[in-house]
Amino acid sequence: SGFAPPTQHVLEKSEVEPSKLNMELKHAYESLLSFFRPVTCRRKDEQTFIPCHVGEGLNTTECLENKCCPSKSIHELQCYMPFKDNLQLTFRLLVLVAGGFFILGCLPFCCCAFLQR
């Protein structure tokens, strides 16, 4: 028969499987962390290459799958750790703060329009 025995617990539509919830929280945390810690593969003159933590001798695809940067030069490391991108972080924070001020600036007008109705 298509019915579950009464001793088995069946997930309702509103329930979320615990492992799925943990994966969603982990994904949200990683997204938030990557927003506030942007990285780039573009190197500035004073920065030194750090080998990728997964090992050496990786091809380009394996390097990118492990969130590392593939090298275009034969004389340098094949796969290296990305660098912090402070310019991108500054831009993201500026947009975030400007958006917050814009919302705070529109809030009084929205409240007045709502209260007049």
End-to-end CA distance of the chain: 58
By DSSP bridging, strand 39-40 and strand 69-70 are: unpaired
pLDDT in tens, 52-70: 877 666 778 888 888 888 8
Owner of token pair 């492990």 = 66
Predicted TM-score (pTM) of the model is 0.63
* 97 and 40 Cβ atoms separated by less than 8 Å: no
pLDDT in tens, 8-46: 455 555 555 667 788 888 888 888 888 889 999 888 888
**What pLDDT is recorded for position 2?**
47
